[in-house]
Amino acid sequence: MLVGVITYLRFCGALSLPDKPPAPTGPSGTQRQLLSQTAASPGMYLNFLERDAASAGVRTPTTDEMARKLAYHADDARHVLELGKPSIEVAGLRLRIERSGDAVVLQIQNLLKSDAAYEVTTTPSIGAGLCNSARPLPFNAMVIAKGASEARTECVFREGISIVVTKVETVEVGALSAYYLSEVPPTLVGVEERIARGHHGVETKEPCAAVVSQVVRSGMDRGDISWRDLVDFYSRHRCQTYQFPLSYRAFKSDSERSIPATD
């Protein structure tokens, strides 16, 4: 019977197969690539702006507003802060140091007319090695609100100690940008661990990864990628979704490139 069936199919019959289905249309790639393609769409970016603005309790900015050049201020002159001496004003910030128990604290006041992302690079006169033993005060290491102040622990107190300020940078940002930056781990933009360990920003259900990719870290070490570049990017993009593109640099003019900016 088996031989008969095979002989019939071989010489007399033919098997009919269903037509081949058409090739799938639309985006293709791995799951990660598909997610990146979705996040890169202007519609999804605007959706994120609306959702995050609601979480922050601020007005939703337009895409054009998020693509504007941000005012940048910098001072790389050397300044020495001593206990009991007058404060100094640099790059839109007022700086002074004071003693708090067994620690030396840097008081930072925002004098600008908007919220400000900021970086104050300092070196204690006794060396940074002892400073990690000082208990850090909780503070926002990324943003200072308009007219507000932040106090950060610099080092343990020693007689005659001074704090040397080697560079101060500020970027004026809007309300949603300030919210975005407050979610960013300071080490992600190059803030040293001695300072970053006291950071207390916005707490969300979606924390941002604190790991810097090796290629970005190498660019920071070489000076190809600056604090300003990183802050400019994260002021426009939620860090839970978007990763810093290697080609990204701070805007020098409005709408210099399309956003969201992705590789």
DSSP letters, 183-213, are TS-GGGGT--HHHHTTB-----SSPPP-PPP
Place of tokens 């070490």: 221
Cβ 48 vs Cβ 161: under 8 Å: no
Place of tokens 């190498």: 218
CA distance 172 to 112: 8
Q: What is the pLDDT along the chain (263 residues), one digit of tens a residue?
A: 666 656 665 656 555 555 655 555 545 444 444 455 688 899 999 999 999 999 999 999 999 999 999 999 999 999 999 999 999 999 999 999 999 999 999 999 999 999 999 999 999 998 777 898 999 999 999 999 999 999 999 999 999 999 999 999 999 999 999 999 999 999 999 999 999 999 998 887 788 887 888 999 999 999 999 999 999 999 999 999 999 999 999 999 999 999 999 97
For position 31, what pLDDT does the model report? 45
Domain boundaries, the chain: 39-234
Give residue 42's identity as a one-letter amino acid code. Answer: P
Give the contacts of 117 (CB within 8 A, at least 6 positions apart): 142, 143, 170, 171, 173, 177, 178, 181, 231, 235
CA distance 237 to 39: 11
CA distance 106 to 97: 5
Return the DSSP state at 216: H
> Is the peptide bond prior to 27 cis by the omega test (within 30 degrees of 0)?
no
**pTM: predicted TM-score of the whole model, two decimal places:** 0.84
